Chains A and B, each alone.
Chain A
Amino acid sequence: MGHGRGEQLVNEQRIREIYAGVMASRGKTRSAAACPAPEAILALVRREGTEDARLATLDHVMSCAECRSEFDLLRSIEEAGTQAGAARPAYRRWMMPVALAASVLFAVVIGRYLLPAAPEDEVFRGDDGGVTLLAPPPEVPAGTPIAFAWHPIPGATRYRLEVLNTGGELALEAETADTTVTLQGTADLAPGDYQWWVGSTVAGAPTRSAFRPLRLTPQ
């Protein structure tokens, strides 16, 4: 990719130098009130909390010399703790809910085979007789857009689709008048376990499907 039609010409190295200068000048005029709490920086380092919250913290940290210095200090301590076996690696903390979800999934699978057989059906239905989910299958390769589909609900004009992570936090959402939607955002989701559901409001009464598991497998 070449340069644009600008009057001044810079390269990436120059942009980095300018950015370093901007950071240094911002450091001199730090407003602590605008800075995230030290605990939020620690949560970023430990990969705790929602991705949105961590991105917001990271955005500030990377534009504030003082916060960046604090971030590097906390990160070094955390990394040393991990290497010493004293701190759990961030990914393992993230995996805890996944392990919990796996246990639940295991219980569901055991229940399916030990309890009296339910009618063989690939779809999940809501307790309230609401939405019947059709696609995607329970396992899909990560890093790709995913098509979601469900049967129409009589009288429904709009549907809401939500994809939740194992912590129950909203990872993706979409609203559509159709009964199918392809979410490009799933390409950005990390491999792991999720669940999704579709809901709608018909004649003022909310209705929704049961949660359906979705595992994004590493490619």
Chain B
Amino acid sequence: MTQTSFASDHKKWINEQLFDTIPLGIAVIDPEFNLVYANSAFEQLFGSWKHHKCYNIYKSREDMCSYCESTLTFKDGTPRINEEVGYDRSGRQIRYLQHTTPIVDEDGNFPFIIHIFTNITEAAQIRDEYQLLLDQVPCNILLIDRNFRIIKANKRLRDWLGDVQDRYCFETLKGLKHKCTECTARQTFTDGQMHTGYHSWQSKKGKILHFHVITVPLKQPNGKFDLVMEMAVDVTQTLRLEDGLKFANTFLETIIATSMDGIFAVNERGKITIFNPAARKLFNIKNNQVVSREELAAMLPTGFLAQVSELPGHVYLPEIEVKTINGEAFPVRLIGNRLMADDGAIGMAFSVQDLRKIKQLEQEKLEAERLAAVGHTVAGLSHGIKNLITALEGGMYMLNSGLSKGNIERIQKGMEMLVRNIERISIFVKAFLSFSKGRQIQAKYCDPAEIAQEVVDLYAVKAAKLGIVLKNEKLGDVNPAPIDYESMHECLTNLVGNAIDACQVSEGAGCHVTVRTFEDDGAIIYEVTDNGCGMDYEVKRKVFTTFFTTKGLGGSGLGLLMTKKIVQEHGGKIDLESVPGKGTTFRISLPRLRLPKVISKEA
């Protein structure tokens, strides 16, 4: 093997064969741009070429290119290299590098030009994709050198901060005159590892954004690197949401912890997640004591948990009994909410309000009202007694003066007066005893309108005889309610009886009495209206408050007092409107929430 044998034999081979062996397309054109010669790699790329102009083949054009490098090289003989877009033999678009080199003859002219092609279609596409990715990825990307100068920035960052190339990163991003004390890029420069950090960057207008930053070394195959790529994701919005969430959380926790009402919650698996101090106090549960779902279910009304978890919205029980963990029952107002997220139930939340204090206050108020009524009754009683004593004294006077004058008629009259007023005393005493004792209200579910109907039926004959039109009206639906039937019957009997009496006193014809039963704003209402004599101010003022009668011997003066007492024992109130000569309306209002409890049959 000698060098000389290579020079002679192989040079010959190269000169003859290399042209078709080389994997680069090579073509030769004349000054008219006719393709005059080409190798097989060229044919592989562009197809057959004979009798064609270069632009016919490279660019699939009929006319010459408007800008032509080869024209220039024919003139000045300078080799050129440029990137072109053309079409391959199948018509697919390709990208290639074109080297343009003149063939120089002995006279120094350029009769032909050689074109050498490098197909870079795939590389160009990868490069374009990379650029697109770099510019469009939703984060800021920059390359930093060891001097902390920005070598390159993606479009997103340039759009935000303008031209940043060759400037210091700390200056550009943070407006600092020196390097940052905590520098994520420096960590990567130091150990060649990936690092993360949080940084706040400032725009030229002073707007501050917060970034989660990742730095990675841009390593060469030998492991060395002089550039770090920094990727910064904008977390400003996330941080703001986190802050909002933190605030909402603290706010809620404070409210729950300090609420006067008991608040507790269970998650979707039935585990108790919240049991606030008020709830612990109510249910007598120690601060660190864990409550199981079974224990919770036992404290709440039977089936309540299931009811809340099955019904949409919330379940509201205005008055219900629950139990402490030790099984002691007490009345509460209870609300259960099913908590819903986008994809279904996430648990239940409950609020519970202790009704014991409220109940006690209500009881005390009723008792105070009862005592006041007794006080008024005693005052009224003394009024009645004074009249009785005066009448008795009158009887005695008639008797004595009749005796001394020997006047039999007067003696007889005196006796009658004494007997009559002693009889009145006994009526008074009986009525007063029944009032002061009363009887325990015994509420049972009944139809409020039925009581009114029965009272109206009771007076139907009497009213018809007196020519009074007596009507009963039920307006809309009135649901059954816990009421002491007998007592309410007595109330309405008193009111209707009074109304009929008022009609008798008045002289005008066409008298009517109407009883109405209806429901208004959660209360059962009875109205008894007449167009009888009505009442003036003095009578109205005293009608409920004294042992008051305007009916002389006809009334005990206790009917309305009794009525008021019964209404109050049902948690309701009674009032009246009256115009002298026009008539009177009494209105009993019984809020359902305050109605007495039903006395169970077993009890």
A binds B: no
Interface positions of B (Cβ within 8 A of A)? none
Interface positions of A (Cβ within 8 A of B)? none
